[in-house]
Structures are given as C-alpha cells and as structure tokens.
C-alpha cells in the first residue's frame, strides 16, 4: 500500500500535523502504541506570559494567532467544546513580586497581556494577603478530550493503527521509505519522549521532565479563573479542579507516584484552606529541549524521515505553528527558522 506519509505518535504534535495532511488531501497512516501520555494528562493551559519572571513566552502572539483558530476549527469539526477561556490570576508572593509585575508593563511583548488593575484577595478559601495580577488571553484546551476524539475519528476512517512502530524495520528504496506493507514518501516522528527509542533522532538533546497532576473535588472552593501560585489550580466545573504540576528530572516513567502526590498536597496547603478530596492523579513526560525550542526538520542523511518534537511545557500553543512550519518545509520547500531546526544539534 502506497501512502504519502506515515506518522508515528498521536499526541498534540501528531494531530496538528495530521490535520495539515487532511486539509491538503494527502494520504497517511498513523501508528500509536500508548507508550507516552503527555498530551493526555496535560493541564492544557495556554498562557502568553511566563509568570515566574513576567517575561514573554517565545513568539506567544504569533503562536496564539495560529493555535486559537486551529482549536476553534477542531471544535466545529467535532461539534464539541475544547477551549475554555479564563483569566489567569497570578498570586503575588511579596511586594517585590508585585513591583516586578508593574515593571513588566515596560516590555512591549508582555504588556498587552496584562490588566492594569490588581485584584484584592476576596476569594473564600484562597490563601494570600497580597494582591493578584490578571493575565488576559489565557485559557485551556481539554487535551484529553481532543486526543481521544481525534484518535476515534482516525480509527473510524481506518487511518490509525494502534500498534508500536519498530524503527529497525524501516527500509529505504529510492525516494521512498518502506515499512512492512507500506511505502511512504515521508515518515514523520511525533513521538514525544518516545523519541529516545528512535535510532534516527535519539541524538537530539531531549530531557525528561516528568510532570504529575492531581484532580481534586473541593465543594467550598469557588473560583472560575486559573489561580497561579506555587502551583496552578484550574477550574473544571462542579467544584472539580486540576492542581499541578510537578517537575521531576530523574524519573523516566509515566506512572503517578506517591512522592508526586505528596509534593502537590504540601504545596496546595499554601494555596487553599478549604477541605478537598483527591479524585484522580496522572503523570507524563514533557518532551523538553535544553534550549527550550522545538525540534522540527528532516534527517541529515535520510530526507524521507522528519521530526516534530520538543514541545516542552507548551505543546498547546506551539504544536499548530510547528506543524505548519514542518508542512511548509516538506511540501513547499520553505526554509525553517534555524532556531527550531533539529539540525542545530550536531550528532
């Protein structure tokens, strides 16, 4: 069977690229083996401002201009809601923290996202004697619903195989890559942290940054915004909140841990005072790169092989624009920004 593309991995990266292929009427087969969970467990938050330093997220404006219409298009395609828009309230830890917030109004890439007025803490059950700063244009994509919905849609169309892709079985014939009964012009690897098993791209400096999140039920907590303090508290409705996330650079598993839960419970004591019950816990590995830029491009020896990875902590915002960049390179010969080109790292 001849296809234009084989795609390995159906998380945020894979689905953003597949959507480009569908729009361009290209043929493809996706492989997905459930070995990674990052896109399924992500908080799904998009936030144009790094709230630790009040600095801009890299290319935030440009990324949002592509990402938000992309998710809106998927909402229409699947007749569902994916995008929950809310204000992000940063709880200041100190007067210095608050002063830094006002200093950020001098940064032209940050200022448009900040509201002038501060909020007093009048929220029952929320700790803090300092003020809150409000970030505009933030929100959350329900990535779990998105990935599950998208996989179901691919399955209905016979476009996905739920099996492991074995790199050792790739053969090269002329311009084609052969994989068992499939002949493809290109194979695009969207494997997240799974790329560590990929002999063609495992030289790239992807770091494991395991993240864990708990979901709580807190009947007395009434917030309809994302609260950003030492961790985030994200409203899901019906008094359920996602709380996260941890950053662990040692554990390479996607298994929820007792240590992860204890860390979140300990930190949460400094954020809310009301009773709650933990109703879920999940974990995944963020595909993070040392220089905090994505990994996009083509293998230096085998032009049939391409990669879309390194989305780090911001897959929701970055995936659609990086899929566009890769598609432009592969189908239209448009050069990549050297900053995202995977060949910036030499073997």
Ligand X SMILES: Cc1cc2nc3c(=O)[nH]c(=O)nc-3n(C[C@H](O)[C@H](O)[C@H](O)COP(=O)(O)OP(=O)(O)OC[C@H]3O[C@@H](n4cnc5c(N)ncnc54)[C@H](O)[C@@H]3O)c2cc1C
33 binds ligand X (CB under 6 A): yes
213 binds ligand X (CB under 6 A): yes
Q: Which of 48, 133, 287, 320 binds ligand X (CB under 6 A)?
A: 287
Q: What is the dihedral of CA 274, 280, 286, 292, to 10 degrees?
A: -20
Q: Which of 42, 49, 51, 146 binds ligand X (CB under 6 A)?
A: 42
Quick check: 89 and 161 in contact, CB under 8 A? no
74 binds ligand X (CB under 6 A): no
Q: At what angle do helices 143-156 and 60-78 cross, to 10 degrees?
A: 50
Q: Which of 36, 59, 281, 321 binds ligand X (CB under 6 A)?
A: 36
Q: Are strands 182-189 and 305-309 parallel, antiparallel or unpaired?
A: parallel
- Which x/- pattern, by CB under 6 A, does the window 162-201 give for ligand X? --xx------------------------xxxxx-------
320 binds ligand X (CB under 6 A): no
Question: Which span sits near ligand X by CB under 6 A: 21-29, 170-178, 214-222, 284-292?
Answer: 284-292
Q: From CA 169, how far away is CA 303, in angstroms rounded?
A: 17
Q: Residue 134: which of 198, 34, 224 has the closest Cα? A: 224
312 binds ligand X (CB under 6 A): yes
CB closer to ligand X out of 131 and 151? 151
CB closer to ligand X out of 287 and 297? 287
CB closer to ligand X out of 38 and 341? 38
Q: From CA 119, how far away is CA 100, in angstroms rounded?
A: 16
Q: At what angle do helices 143-156 and 12-23 cross, to 10 degrees?
A: 50
Nearby residues of 65 by Cβ (< 8 Å), 6 or more positions away: none
For residue 34, the minimal CB distance to ligand X (Å) is 5
Q: Residue 253: which of 303, 202, 296, 193 has the closest Cα? A: 193
145 binds ligand X (CB under 6 A): no
Question: Which span sits near ligand X by CB under 6 A: 38-46, 105-113, 172-180, 272-280?
Answer: 38-46
Peptide bond into 245 cis (omega under 30): yes
Size of the site for ligand X (CB under 6 A): 43
The alpha helices in the chain, defined as continuous H runs, are 12-23, 38-41, 60-78, 95-103, 143-156, 258-268, 315-332
- Which x/- pattern, by CB under 6 A, does the window 243-262 give for ligand X? -xx-----------------
281 binds ligand X (CB under 6 A): no
59 binds ligand X (CB under 6 A): no
Contacts with ligand X, residue ranges (CB under 6 A)? 8-14, 31-36, 38-39, 41-45, 164-165, 190-194, 211-213, 244-245, 284, 286-287, 309, 311-317
């Amino acid at each position: 069977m001849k296809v234009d593309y084989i795609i390995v991995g159906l998380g945020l990266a894979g689905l953003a690229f597949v959507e480009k292929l569908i729009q361009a009427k290209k043929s493809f087969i996706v492989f997905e083996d459930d070995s990674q969970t990052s896109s399924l467990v992500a908080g799904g938050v998009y936030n144009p401002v790094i709230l630790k330093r009040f600095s801009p997220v890299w290319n935030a404006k440009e990324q949002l201009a592509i990402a938000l219409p992309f998710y809106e298009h998927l909402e229409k395609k699947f007749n569902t809601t994916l995008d929950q828009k809310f204000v992000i309230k940063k709880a200041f830890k100190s007067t210095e923290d608050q002063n830094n917030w006002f200093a950020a109004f001098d940064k032209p890439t940050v200022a448009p996202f900040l509201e002038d007025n501060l909020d007093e803490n009048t929220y029952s059950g929320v700790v803090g004697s300092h003020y809150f700063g409000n970030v505009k244009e933030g929100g959350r994509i329900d990535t779990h619903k998105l990935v599950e919905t998208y996989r179901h849609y691919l399955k209905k169309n016979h476009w996905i195989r739920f099996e492991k892709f074995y790199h050792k079985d790739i053969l090269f014939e002329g311009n084609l890559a052969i994989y068992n009964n499939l002949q493809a012009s290109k194979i695009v690897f969207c494997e997240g942290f799974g790329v560590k098993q990929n002999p063609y791209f495992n030289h790239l400096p992807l770091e494991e940054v395991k993240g864990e999140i708990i979901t709580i039920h807190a009947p007395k907590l009434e917030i309809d915004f994302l609260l950003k303090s030492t961790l985030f508290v994200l409203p899901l409705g019906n008094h359920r909140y996602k709380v996260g996330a941890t950053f662990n650079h040692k554990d390479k598993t996607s298994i929820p841990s007792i240590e992860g839960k204890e860390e979140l419970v300990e930190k949460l004591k400094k954020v809310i005072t009301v009773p709650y019950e933990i109703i879920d816990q999940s974990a995944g590995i963020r595909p993070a790169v040392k220089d905090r830029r994505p990994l996009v491009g083509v293998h230096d020896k085998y032009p049939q092989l391409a990669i879309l990875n390194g989305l780090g902590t911001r897959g929701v915002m970055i995936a659609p624009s990086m899929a566009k960049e890769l598609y432009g390179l592969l189908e239209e010969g448009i050069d990549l920004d050297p900053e995202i080109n995977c060949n910036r790292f030499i073997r």
